[in-house]
Amino acid sequence: MAAHEAAAAKERREGENGEAEYLRLLGERIREARARRGMTRKILARDSRVSERYLAQLETGHGNISIVLLRQIAHAMGLPLGDLVREEPDRPVELTLLIQTLGRLPAKELAQARKLLGQTFGAAIDSERRHRVALVGLRGAGKSTLGAMLAKDLSVPFIELDREVERESGTRLAEIFDLYGQAAFRRYERRALEAVIERYDRAVIATGGSIVSEPTTFDLLLSACYTVWLTATPEEHMGRVVAQGDTRPMAENEQAMEDLRRILAGRTALYSKADARVDTGGKTAEQSFRELKAAVAG
C-alpha cells in the first residue's frame, strides 16, 4: 500500500508540473503568434472579446482559460484552435508546410507518401524489422497463444507488453487505470515499448489491443517491428475472452457486443496499417500458427 501511495503522489506531482508547463507553453505560443501577426495585446483583446488583463495573465502562463475563450482568441488571430492547444512545441516552418502539402493529397496517395517517407527517413529496414515481430489486434485475437508459439519456434524471447507496463509502473494494469487514469497508462506503455525495442533485437511482442489508438506509440511500433494483425469476428473475440474466465465484459455491460463491434470498426483502419493480417476465426491454434509463420516468413 505504501508503494502505491508513493507512486500515486509522484504521479500527482508530475501531473501538476505538467499542467504548469502546459500553461506556460500555451501563453508563449499565444504571445508569439500575436507578435508574428503584428497585433498588440489591445487589438487582440478587442478582436477576441477577451479582456487585456486576462490576456496578460494567459501570456505569462498564469491563466487557466476556458476552451470557448481560447477559441475566440484563435479565431481573432486566424489560427486553427488545434494549433494553440496541442501539447508539443511549435512545429518548424518546413514541417508546417509539409503537413499542408500532405493535407491536400487523397487517401491513396497519403499511404504512398507515408511509405516513401518511412523508407527514406529513419524507419528500420525491412530485414531488421522482421527480427522483431509485433502482434496487434483486439483482446481474444490469439496474440498471447500464437505469440508464445511463434517465439518458441523462432527461439526468441516472447514479451507481453502489458506485463512490461506493469513492471515499468510497479503496479497491476487495472490499478494503473484506477489510480492514475488512461493518460498515465499511455505514458507507461510508450516507455515500456521503447525499453523493449532498446533491449531486444529479436523478439515476439504481444501488444495491448488499444496500442493503435496512440499515434506516436503505434508509429514507433510500425517503424521498429514487423507487425501482424490477428483478427476474428466480434463474437469470437468475446467468446474467447469469456472462455478464459473473464466474464466482466458480459456481466457489466448489456451492450458489450455492440460496443465491441464499434471498437473493432473504429480501429480497423489503424490495424490495417500492419504489415500482414492473419484471420484466426474458425481455426485451431495450430492452423492459425501455420498462417502466422507464413506471414512472418513473407
C-alpha torsion angle, residues 135, 233, 162, 290 (rounded to 10): -30
Number of domains into which the chain is organized: 2
Note whether 66 and 210 are same-domain residues. no
Residue 254 has pLDDT above 70, yes or no: no
- C-alpha cell read off for 84: 494553440
Lowest mean pLDDT among 2-11, 21-30, 53-62: 2-11
Q: pTM to 2 decimals?
A: 0.68
Q: How far apart are CA 164 and CA 175, in angstroms?
A: 14
Residues 243 and 293 in one domain: yes
CATH number of the domain bearing residue 213: 3.40.50.300
Q: Which three cell numbers stand for residue 66?
A: 476556458
Residues 69 and 186 occupy one common structural domain? no
The residue type found at 25 is: L
Residue 170 and residue 78 share a domain: no
At 266, list the grid cell. Answer: 473504429
Q: What is the mean pLDDT of residues 280-291?
A: 92
Q: Are 118 and 126 a contacting pair, CB within 8 Å?
A: no
Same-domain status, 205 and 264: yes
Range of the domain at 47: 19-86
- Asked if residue 37 belongs to a domain, the reply is yes
- Look-up: residue for cell 506531482? 13
Phi, then psi, of 92 in degrees rounded to 5: -60, 155
* Whether residues 286 and 184 fall in one domain: yes
pLDDT at 251 over 50: no
Q: Do residue 72 and residue 175 come from a single domain?
A: no
| Domain co-membership, 41 together with 181 | no
Residue 22 has a pLDDT of: 87
